[in-house]
Amino acid sequence: MSQENYFHIDSGLFKRLSRGDEKAFESIFKQYKEKVFSLALQILKDPTLAEEVVQDVFTGIWKNREQLEAIAMPPAYLFTITRNRSLDMLRKIANDDKLRELVWKQMEEDRLITNDMDISELEKLIQQAIRQLPEKRRQIFLLSREAGLSYDRIGAEMGISKNTVKTQLQLAVKDIKAYLEPYRLLYWLGPFLHFFL
């Protein structure tokens, strides 16, 4: 299984959505709603505000659907807009000067995709991180993330135990974290990888 095919399924949904396919939108919503909510909640610490972000994110996706065909890595795109919408909301609710200063400081210190890094750069880094995994570990990771296979199914196809599959996936995430650490991505890496799990 090639690493280039890793995001084939989600990219296909985005292409269908760009042509106005409502079923594709429903599939994307079902697949990512909880993940978008989880990231927004981590940033905002308020479930009501997080729900507002979810609505904002998916409303924006539908309104801008014609621009989505070129998105190569839907999870990275969704992560980015969710994070940005959440930070926008933080700015809106930061009415006093001190809180506003803290918000901007956090955004400056933990930059991920702002002036220094765009979505395409993030895609390249993630692809490189996956590519550097040991062959067997990479294969297990892609079977899980691309094909959506269960631990049992992967184990059966590869002739290994369910526990081995689980261990290899945990090691894959650890390896990806180690690869991305020099790029100052660890603050956001946990919730980002959640988009792939």
Task: Report the alpha-carbon distance of residue 63 to residue 128 in Å, rounded.
Answer: 32
Task: Report the alpha-carbon distance of residue 18 to residue 53 in Å, rounded.
Answer: 21
pLDDT at position 5, please?
Answer: 37
- Domain extents for the chain? 3-194
pLDDT at position 7, please?
Answer: 37
pLDDT at position 12, please?
Answer: 77
pLDDT at position 78, please?
Answer: 86
| pLDDT per position as a tens digit, 103-117 | 555 555 544 444 445
Record the pTM.
0.54
Q: Which residues of the chain have pLDDT under 70?
A: 1-11, 93-123, 146-148, 182-197
Non-local (6+) Cβ contacts of 191 within 8 A are 38, 39, 42, 79
Which residue do the tokens 């909880």 mark? 34
pLDDT at position 25, please?
Answer: 92
Task: Report the alpha-carbon distance of residue 128 to residue 183 in Å, rounded.
Answer: 13
pLDDT at position 119, please?
Answer: 57
